[in-house]
Structures are given as structure tokens and as C-alpha cells.
Amino acid sequence: MRYLIIFVLVILLSSLTMLAQDLPSGEEAMGTKSYDQFENPKTCKSCHVDIYQQWTQSMMAQAYTHHWDEIEYFDLAVEHAKVDERFLSASHGCNGCHTPMAYLAGDVPPPRPEKNSRANESVSCDVCHTISGYKGDIPYNFSYVSQPGRVKYGNKPGAVSPHHETAYKEFYTQTEYCANCHNEKSPFDVYVKSTQIEWKEGPYAKEGVPCHQCHMPRALGKNATMAEIDTVSQHLFHGAHDRGKVGGSIELRMHPEEREIEYDDTIVLKVQLFNAKAGHKIPSGSVEDRILWLHVTATDAEGKEYHLKVDKKGFAGEEYTISSDVLAYQDLGIPKRIPNFQGIQRDGVPFGDRIFRMPYFDPEGRMTIMQWNTKSLGVDYRIGPRETKIETFTWPLPDDIAIGKVHFKAQLNYQKLVKPVADFLNVPEDESEIIPVNSAETWVEVYE
């Protein structure tokens, strides 16, 4: 009898593990579930009040409804797939990360945000807490396995809840969990998002500091109204949309080669940029949209202001890292149905400023912000975790320089979306607001 029970148990267990392996993930998971299988975040709110309020303020809760997402998805990705069916599954795939329930329910394209459908729940509590694992070596493109139901998985062994069952999974404390959505490949097999891969190659992985420590920091509190006080993982998910998170993430220092100089001589300045705060490169994630640039000005003793241009270093592809008067993003003409579209200004920042970025190229080699239309990547001139980059500014003093102290200011700015693109697509202002990252100052004495 005892052997029979053990035998039955073994069969049951092995069929369960087989089931887990057979469960769909990524593209094959589209249309395998229904909305009804997932609970509404408002249900979780009744007990997880604090976590709920944190989540509503995060981009996770707006991943589908946020205006720029709506514009890029409906006006660019969906339209692009209509004229070129190679992009159909990539355009469906947006939802696999931005509104997983809609994707799993096969409701693609989902109703527009104004329709107030369940797609608006975006990356919700129940979507995240019923992920049971992932398939593949490196997780990317919504490779998670979704098993909605009574069991909510998490980081706390032995948690007891009146509403649901709980199960501990170490996976929830690991970066692979995040990588399911924070690594992305284009249909051309190019990594167009690689935040977790960047992390893995950097110093924080070696020190065992996962994404969670910076984006879900642990603090004393209650994770549910009826729970004991304990350390609780905060659901902040603060990133590029949080001025405080971006501000100070890179430290700046600037110094001249000589402190005193003759009025007809040349000033040489060095600026050091140190990525002190991020566990990955800056910018990371939506690199195709983001722009980080260094602007250096001089003010002479009479208050005249001058703009300094960065010295060229001479590496391959450098032209994409110095702001200049060129057009780009011609492929926007495809979804916008503008024949022979000439493109728009590439950078929208003062010419001669250094830009820290990695350009994405469409199949015709033109710079693009449509990450699904990316066939190759250009020079990677972003600032890695704990990396320091040095920029030099050589400035032959202008004839009209005033004698006395010249003050220099280096300003490092960040923009979530390149301004000319934001203007062209009518994206609301806050997406292209200028976010100051850091600044540095120094001076040189000019004598006769």
C-alpha cells in the first residue's frame, strides 16, 4: 500500500514537472489564457494597501496607457505591420511586456486605453505574481511562463494569506525574473534592450546586487494590513521617469590643464563622468529614444558667454556621438505613409555637444527609434556601471575675451525622448523634458 502511494506520488510529481516544461512561453503563449483567469489589482489592494499605492505610481501600472506608449504602439508599430507583415508578430509582441494579460488572452491589438478595458491594467500584480518561471537560456521577449490561479509566488517563504495560497520562489529575487521583459530582441535577432545583460557583465552582478536592491529596495513595514512588521520589498520601480533617480546618477568633475593663461593662448579642460548609481549602462532600456548630453559653456570676466565644442577622439562611429546638423529617422515615413520622407533633425541639442548613446539602424542603415525595425547597432558610447569617461575641450581663446577670470560650467542633461521626434509625433511635453543629471564648474585666470 505504502509503495503504491509513493508510486502514485512519483507519477503525479513527474507529470507536474512535465506540465511546467510543456507550458507555453513567449510567442507561443499568445491566446492561451483569458482575462478572467487574472485578478484585478483592486482585489489585492484590499490587503496590500501600501504596495498597491506604490505600484499605481510606477510605470508598470501605466505600461499600456501611458501616452507615448499608446502613440508608438498604435501609430507606429501597428501601422507598420499593416504595410509590412514581417512586423506583425513583433507588433503583437509589444503587449507581451506592456499588457501581458491582453497578450495571453490573444486580445491584440487591445482596445485603445480610452476604452477602459482590462488591458489598461498593464503589468499588474497578478500578472507578475503568477509567473512560475521562464524558458530558454537568457530570458528575453516575454519568455516567462504564466500560471494564473490560487497560488501567488513571491520572495517570502511561509507567508500565509486568507485570500490566496503562497509559494516561495528564489527566481523572484533574481534578475532573470526582470530580464523576461527588460531584454528584448528585434525580428532581426538584434538585442534592442539589454538592461539585464549589461548588469550581468558589470560589477554589480559580481557583488550579488540584483535589480531589486535599487528598484525594489527593502525597508521595515507591513506588506499586508494583517501582516507582522518585517522587511518589505518596496514596489517603486523608479527609473528614467523619476528625476530623483536620474539626477546624480552620473558624477561630474571638471578641471583645466593650466590655471593661469595668456589672453591669446588655448585653454584645455577635462571633464570626468562617473556612473556612480546605475547597475547597468546609462542610458539603458529604451536606448533608441534616450539622449544624454554634455554641454560646456564659458563666461568671461565681462559676462560674455561662449559655447565649447567637445574634442573629437577619432573612434569609429563617433559622428553619432557629437550633435550635428543631420537628418535621421527616415523610416518613420513608412508607418506614417509619407513617401520619400526626408527625416527630421537627429539630436535637437546644441551642435558640438557630446552625446552618450548607441544608435540603432534600420535595414537601410538609417538611424531609427523604431526598435522593432532595428537590423544593426552602432557604436556603444554609453557610460557603463562604475565606468568613468573623460571628455576634453580645447578652446583657443577668442579675440574679444576679457582679461580676468573665465568661469566654466559643464552641464549633463538627459531626455527620455529626442526632442525632434517628440515634436514630430506630438508626444506630450513631459516625455522630452530636460532632466539635469549633474553639473560641474571650474575657472581659469586670463592675463595680458
Interface positions, 162-201, toward ligand HEC (CB under 6 A): 162-164, 166, 168, 172-173, 175, 177-178, 180-182, 184, 195-196, 199
| Site for ligand HEC contains 232 (CB under 6 A) | yes
Residue carrying C-alpha cell 506604490: 54
Select from 30, 68, 267, 335 the one that contacts ligand HEC (CB under 6 A). Answer: 68
Least Å from the CB of residue 292 to ligand HEC: 8
Specify whether the CB–CB gap between 299 and 305 falls below 8 A.
yes
| Site for ligand HEC contains 93 (CB under 6 A) | yes
Specify whether the CB–CB gap between 161 and 115 falls below 8 A.
no
Q: Which stretch binds ligand HEC (CB under 6 A): 16-24, 94-102, 103-111, 299-307?
A: 94-102
Least Å from the CB of residue 359 to ligand HEC: 15
Q: Give the number of residues in contact with ligand HEC, rule: CB under 6 A.
A: 94
Least Å from the CB of residue 16 to ligand HEC: 19
Residue carrying C-alpha cell 499568445: 30
Cα 175 from Cα 425, distance rounded (Å): 34
| Site for ligand HEC contains 295 (CB under 6 A) | no
The closest alpha carbon to 175, from 153, 195, 155, belongs to 195
Select from 113, 148, 215, 252 the one that contacts ligand HEC (CB under 6 A). Answer: 215
Least Å from the CB of residue 199 to ligand HEC: 4
* Residue at 240: amino acid letter: A
Specify whether the CB–CB gap between 201 and 183 falls below 8 A.
no
The closest alpha carbon to 197, from 275, 282, 140, belongs to 140
| Binding residues for ligand HEC restricted to 100-159, rule: CB under 6 A | 100, 123, 125-126, 128-129, 141-142, 152, 154-156, 159
CB atoms within 10 A of CB 319: 12
| Binding residues for ligand HEC restricted to 368-397, rule: CB under 6 A | 372
Least Å from the CB of residue 387 to ligand HEC: 13
Residue nearest to ligand HEC (CB): 285
Q: Which stretch binds ligand HEC (CB under 6 A): 112-120, 240-248, 293-301, 438-446?
A: 240-248
The closest alpha carbon to 135, from 194, 180, 69, belongs to 180
Grid coordinates in use for 98? Answer: 506592456
Nearer to ligand HEC, 69 or 300 (CB): 69
Q: Classify the phi-psi angles of 352: left when phi > 0, otherwise alpha if psi is within -120 to 50, otherwise beta.
A: left
Specify whether the CB–CB gap between 64 and 119 falls below 8 A.
yes
| Binding residues for ligand HEC restricted to 313-352, rule: CB under 6 A | none
Specify whether the CB–CB gap between 351 and 358 falls below 8 A.
no
Cα 94 from Cα 192, distance rounded (Å): 13
Select from 25, 91, 120, 438 the one that contacts ligand HEC (CB under 6 A). Answer: 91
Burial (CB count within 10 angstroms: exposed 0-12, middle 13-18, buried 19+), residue 209 = middle
| Binding residues for ligand HEC restricted to 8-67, rule: CB under 6 A | 39, 41, 43-44, 46-48, 51-52, 55, 59-60, 63, 66
